[in-house]
Structures are given as C-alpha cells and as structure tokens.
Amino acid sequence: MIFFVSLCLGGSKKRTAMAIENDEFGHDPSVQRTRKIFSSMEKTQWELLEKLKISPFDDRLRSIRKKALDLFGKSFPIAISKGMDLNEDASAGLYAFCLAQSLKPVGFDVPDNFLPDNKQLETIVMETIS
C-alpha cells in the first residue's frame, strides 16, 4: 500500500523502502489493529464498487467516501458504547452500511446480499443518521 501511494504521489522506490524501514509504529498492537481495520474497510469498498460496476475513478466517489467515513466516525463510538466488539469483520460491516447510506442519495442501489446480515450494525448507522 505504501509503495502504491508513493508511486502515485511521484515517490521513488528508494524513498518507499526507507519509509517501510522507518515504520516506528508498525510494532504497536493498536496500530496493527487499526491498519487491519482500514484494510478490511478498503476491501469492502472495492467489492461494493465492483458489484455496482462503478469505476474507482468516478468523480462522485470523493464526496461519497467522505460522507461514508464521516458516518463511520460517528457510528463507531456508538457501537463501542453499546458493548460491540468491532473486530476487522464487524468494522468492515459497519463501514459497508455507512457506504451504502452514502451511495443512496447519488442514485446507487446497494444489493441486499452485499450488506452483512447484522441488524445491530444497521440499527447503529440508522440511529446515527437520524
């Protein structure tokens, strides 16, 4: 991922290798967990875009992603306060509901079979919206 971002931003392979070597936080368990959660969220997003046949370069995605991340940021602490264990899968599921809600106003219908069968996550996102 760092390599891809570096190349997209005009970085060199040498600088990328240095960034990986200088990862001072990579051994911290909380950082590792956070990285795994965001990796799961990214995978969920790519799968949904593929199912909906939306190009990852669609101009509308910038605002959709921002809304989804904002909604996720508001929903996550609510889920924690309700005692949910938001592991990688649950976090990705929560993000899937947030992304689905962010896609609706733009006219994209999210297939029911994509969203996790987790009423508690869905309820949390709906509470956050209202």
Instruction: Write the pLDDT tens digit of every residue in 97-109.
Output: 999 999 999 888 8
Helix (H) or strand (E) holding 105: none
What is the CB neighbour count within 10 angstroms for residue 40? 19
How buried is residue 117: exposed, middle or buried, by Cβ count under 10 Å (0-12/13-18/19+)? exposed
Tell whether the model's pLDDT for residue 6 goes beyond 50. Answer: no
Q: Is the pLDDT of residue 22 over 70?
A: no
Give CATH for domain 39-129.
1.10.472
Radius of gyration for the chain, computed over Cα atoms and rounded to the nearest angstrom:
16
Longest dimension (CA), the chain: 48
